[in-house]
A and B are shown apart, each in its own frame.
Chain A
Amino acid sequence: MNKHLALFIIALVAVAISRHCFIEQYRQEAKTASATETMDEVRDRAGAYFSLEPNGASEGHHLEVHDEQPDLHFAAATGHEQCDEHASGTAHEDGEGHEHHAGHEHHGHDHAHDHAGHAHGIGDPTVSPGFVILLRQLGFAELAANLLWIQMDADSHAGLWHRVTYALELIPVLDPTFIDAFLLRAYLLDEYENRHAEAVQLLEKALKQNQHRMELWQQIGIYCLNHGGRHGPTRDLPKALDAFYKASNFAGAPPYMIRMAAATLAAMERRDEAVQLLRQVMSLPERTEDQLQIDRLMINRILSGEKF
């Protein structure tokens, strides 16, 4: 047998084997969707995207869905108005916490605000699924995700919620680190579709790829704590406690996070531990006078036997 031909075949086999192993490892580590997954996602929902009429996917949504921020209610209910405004469902106001990549910073924040007065026309989508796929294939998956987010924002103003749902499902497929899409989709599931368990599952799925994002832990904690039964009929207090502890361990975690953990402990009727936890935190030098005052208020509420 020709020596070159033998070497050629050996090299070809080596390429095939090494390629297979490399791609498997890539899929495990990169955690990006395969072409098949992206295409399937587009194929399943692209029809809705080209339609100006809801096709049933999200008919339950209302136009100004973003005007309500569910956890403000919790904040108010627990007397945390000063601090817990940051714990809003989609956390869009928190500029510093949204540095995951450049594009998000430009547009991720206005989204939660009042849209009154915006004159958005209802027309053909500027960012079509085909355009998104093209960008992804050219290596600009993040840009595609960002553009889709902007389009989704415009669609939400126009009341095209079937498109919003489609975009929020496709964005994480394109860029699994785009946590705003996970957070907003979870918010819609929880608040408007009453699919509370799915909202938590979605956030847990997001966590697999974004362990380092405090916002996800915080939101899981809020849904599982389920203060006042706003997030469905069930509560999962151990999970909520774990999530709040994890969120509070992040560098730069907001000061109210530990109070959320204390509220969860109180809800589990472990009030002594809750008070002890707050007293420990109060002894920290970085605790400001404002925060100390809210901590003291919280301790009083816990000791008074208030139900959380």
Chain B
Amino acid sequence: MLSHIRLIAWDTFLDVARHKMLTVHLVFVCISLGLFNLFGHFSTTPTLEYRMIQDVGLSIISLFGFLIALFIGSTTLRDEIQRKTVYAVLTLPMGRWELYTGKFLGTLLAAIVNVLVMLGILTGLLYLKYGVLWTGFHWVALFMLFEFAIMTAMVLLFSLADSLIVCFSLSIFCVLLGNMAEHVQHLAIEAGIPLLGWLVDVIYWIVPNFGYFNIKHKILKDFAISPTFALWAAGYAVCYLFFLLVAGSWAFRKKDL
């Protein structure tokens, strides 16, 4: 069972790496390199320039991370179904959930490697320019991994929908809502419509709250992240990934293939 999942996961990862990852990395490297010249004239103090480059770099990673998650998640399983190669795999003595779990882990691995490579490039460039190692790097990497792992898994689940537009729309909607969940809930309460309040409450508890994974403001100000906080974040991310895996396996099992 585990060997099936491992094989599919590795194959998925290689498939993603062959097609998209290198190009995206190249684009990211170009932009990052450009940043150092673009922001060179903001050199009122070296500290300010350093933080500005960190800030912009992290924002770019967030944007690219989301795009990568969207494209990887929406094409991995969907392409197999459309090319009908999935039927060959399904004839093998293995459960659909094993296939889905393999795809799930493969896409997660791809997303993780992507984010780590991008953060690695940014850290390397910062080190080359300033000769300082980014002390908060591991925390940023950890929380971004949580965020993009959930994002990718969510897109993979939505990719089971019949239409690619539905998949994209749902994914973008959930990411936006995930960043604004608390605010939307507050506005619903203020509206004073019980049904709306109840509905938004349900959505609030189901949609992942990505805003809480954003620790950029703490890192940029050299604030400490406590291990307890990181542990709770990890716990939430793992639980949510498990939830998405179960939901995806169930939906894949019900899919008419």
Contacts and interface: CB of A to CB of B under 8 A. Distances in A.
A29 B226 contact: yes
Given A23-B212, A137-B180, A139-B214, A8 B236 contact: no
B246 A7 contact: yes
Contacts of A270: none
Contacts of A250: none
Nearest to B251: A4
Contacts of A29: 225-226, 229
B246 A105 contact: no
Contacts of A138: 179
B250 interface: yes
Interface residues of A, number: 38
Q: How large is the interface on B (under 10, 10 to 19, 20 to 34, 35 or more residues)?
A: 35 or more
A30 interface: yes
B233 interface: yes
A23 B243 contact: no
B243 A12 contact: yes
B48 A102 contact: yes
Contact of A102 (B55, B206, B236): B55
B242 A11 contact: yes
A219 B203 CA distance: 46
B209 interface: yes
B47 interface: yes
Nearest to B50: A102
Nearest to B214: A139
A279 interface: no
Nearest to A8: B246
A14 interface: yes
B84 interface: no
A101 B48 CA distance: 8
Contact of B221 (A11, A26, A177): A177
Contacts of B55: 102
Given A25-B232, A137-B179, A99 B45 contact: yes
Interface stretch (A34-42, A53-61, A199-207): A34-42
A26 B209 CA distance: 12
A18 B183 contact: no
Chain A binding surface SS class: helix
Contact of B47 (A26, A32, A99, A142): A99
A4 B253 contact: yes
**Which residue of A22, A101, A105, A137 has the most chain B CB atoms within 10 A of its CB atom?**
A22
Interface in A179-209: none
Interface in B218-251: 218, 220-221, 225-226, 228-229, 232-233, 235-236, 238-240, 242-243, 245-247, 249-250
Contacts of B243: 8, 11-12, 14-15
B242 A101 contact: no
Contacts of B239: 11, 14-15, 17-19
B182 interface: yes
Contacts of A105: 44-45, 48
A7 B251 CA distance: 13
Contacts of B180: 137
Contact of A26 (B179, B229, B250): B229
A17 B235 CA distance: 10
A296 interface: no
Given A12-B243, A102-B51, A30 B218 contact: yes
Contacts of B215: 30
B52 interface: yes
A105 B52 CA distance: 12
A18 B218 CA distance: 22
Nearest to B254: A4
B233 A8 contact: no
Nearest to B242: A11
B38 to A, nearest CB: 15
B177 to A, nearest CB: 11
Contact of B52 (A16, A36, A102): A102
B251 to A, nearest CB: 9
A287 interface: no
A16 B232 contact: no
Contacts of A7: 246
Contacts of B238: 18
A137 B185 CA distance: 13
B138 interface: no
B235 A4 contact: no
A84 to B, nearest CB: 25
A233 to B, nearest CB: 38
24 contacts: A11-B245, A11-B247, A14-B242, A15-B205, A15-B243, A18-B236, A18-B240, A19-B236, A22-B212, A25-B232, A26-B212, A26-B229, A29-B225, A29-B229, A30-B215, A30-B218, A32-B217, A35-B183, A35-B185, A39-B190, A100-B221, A102-B48, A106-B44, A138-B179
A-B interface, 6 closest residue pairs, ranked by CB to CB distance from nearest? A11-B243, A22-B236, A35-B182, A14-B239, A18-B236, A4-B250
Given A18-B235, A21-B235, A30-B215, 5 more contacts: A15-B243, A18-B240, A26-B212, A29-B225, A99-B47
